[in-house]
Chains A and B, each alone.
Chain A
């Protein structure tokens, strides 16, 4: 059952990446924008109070970066474990040859 082991390893790699990115998601919004907002507001950042900037601008920019990072990294992980959905026709051909 090589396939099952491979799929489990793929799933673990996926979960690891997801947890890292979701911690950043939590950090920029809930920590910087809400929990630490008063502390960060003591710091000036290009005409903004820093905590306010995270809550109304910064967090949103980071969210976009997070999704595209996830997209690119997952594509690599998909290919590494041979479960990618691209070139499915090629994969099917390879199997036929073997």
Chain B
């Protein structure tokens, strides 16, 4: 059977499993809809958290980013895993003990203020929508490449699936589908990685293969070969960075505390039965995430080697089929600048912007590009997102592996999208309606509004996926920067500083939010031409500015709280209570 047929079968099979689980685990109460009844075992919650966390970006883009950025990509590897250490020790157990439904719930109750709650809801919605648009886009890319369905219909199918299990099942449905999705995406990520590691180094464990010798008789290790090849082609060494140390430091910090402050991740720890289970499940979550995050650097390095071996100095007529199939959907583009009929790969952009194609083809069958060529010798444009998806084809792996990767990419995108849509709908039905603007509604009405909010959010996310505004790719920094600068400090201080009052927390959140938002918006949208180290504050890029935003938040919150009235006694008692694991209750019995 060919890859296309197998892909249809794999995708149809996994989708019916997800829907089956959704029907089996329908939610009947708000408690089940918001936090799966608070009864998810820690190992399963670890898997669900891992699936929730590993988005289309982790699955599809990360190895590609590593392949092209080398050491510089370490910020993502450390940043997106180190956050779980902070989560496990500083936030998750205490938030579980607090025992309510949402992150704004905690902030609103701890800071005895509806204003604080609404500020938290605004942060949450900004963060989550930024994130979810990218997921729907990922669904679209996978469908269009592997199933030959236009991106529009791909997104519609994805929306329909998420609709069934998020709207019907709420957190309960999402949790158990995420467990299934984790299994699919992990298998889909590791199988090709093992194959490729075997091909390049003869060692089946990619983490070890990355340090092993290449099987080309050169006697060089993978990383030595990459360093040499890249330097020969005029790039910097793979294992050395090009970013300044302070920027790498700031980005890693912003990603770590941003991870710990992401509402859709935090809320997963509300679903386990006990405080000790929250700690354990953070450990399992990181273990499962690390399976993929320690494999990704190997996949990235092997992919870069294979790409250069296959493409550099190859004649277009002899190029493998994968090159043309990605060229057909516009993610690869080639301009034969020196007219020798061969593809030359070198540093720099081959032409200005993303490739735009005319309808004509050149004599050798390659697509004509209408962009203005640049002055350097690089002739090939390659979208970094295709590395993981194209890897099995580049390495000529069996057709079922290609089908598996497609199913895995969809699992990654759908699981994260569902988790994000749930926190958005919860924040609206629970925090904005039930707790702020429509206090009298019954549990049943609240559940109804939660479903309406989830359906609306899916519609908006789908629209963003079909017709992404140009800035979507630019704003990932927003999600982490805003979480790091607004929610994380407010939650941390709420647990560890008994003297922190509403005045301090609200000032801190707003200052952190506005500062980071303005900084990122200025360099990304207002004056993108100034987005270079020379204009940055302390040499910190917009990606890393969340860490400065967090420092501003902490400092202002501390100063303001010491100059304003003390915290009411019942709130102090609540803080004392959440510090002790004993006496944990089911979520929101009060």
Contact = CB atoms under 8 A, between A and B. Distances in A.
Interface string A50-80: 0011011101110110111011001100100
B560 to A, nearest CB: 24
Contacts of A33: 74, 78, 252
Given A63-B85, A85-B584, A86-B276, A34 B248 contact: yes
B223 interface: yes
Nearest to B279: A71
A85 B89 contact: no
Nearest to B293: A60
Contact of A85 (B66, B207, B240, B275): B275
B579 A78 contact: no
B551 interface: no
B84 interface: yes
Nearest to B285: A67
B84 A67 contact: yes
B582 A85 contact: yes
Nearest to A62: B85
Contact of B82 (A14, A25, A45): A25
A78 B77 contact: no
B74 A55 contact: yes
B81 interface: yes
A21 B89 contact: yes
B286 A47 contact: no
Interface string B230-251: 0000000001110001001100
Nearest to B238: A52
Given A48-B210, A49-B239, A52-B239, A63 B294 contact: no
Contacts of A84: 276, 581-582
Contacts of B581: 78, 83-85
Nearest to A21: B89
A71 B222 contact: no
Given A34-B249, A85-B276, A86-B274, A59 B239 contact: no
Interface in B240-297: 240-241, 245, 248-249, 252-253, 274-276, 279-280, 282-283, 286-287, 290, 293-294, 297
Interface string A25-57: 100011001110100010001111100110111
B294 A57 contact: yes
B198 interface: no
A63 B81 contact: yes
Between A7, A29, A49, the greatest number of chain B beta carbons within 10 A of the residue's beta carbon is seen for: A29
Contacts of B583: 85, 88
B85 A85 contact: no
A29 B257 CA distance: 14
Contact of A67 (B88, B252, B275): B88
A67 B283 contact: yes
A88 B276 CA distance: 12
Nearest to A47: B211
A29 B74 CA distance: 10
Given A59-B77, A60-B290, A83-B580, 17 more contacts: A7-B579, A10-B580, A21-B89, A22-B85, A22-B89, A33-B74, A48-B211, A49-B223, A53-B211, A59-B82, A63-B82, A67-B85, A70-B88, A70-B279, A84-B582, A85-B581, A86-B276
7 contacts: A25-B82, A35-B249, A47-B223, A60-B294, A84-B276, A85-B584, A86-B276
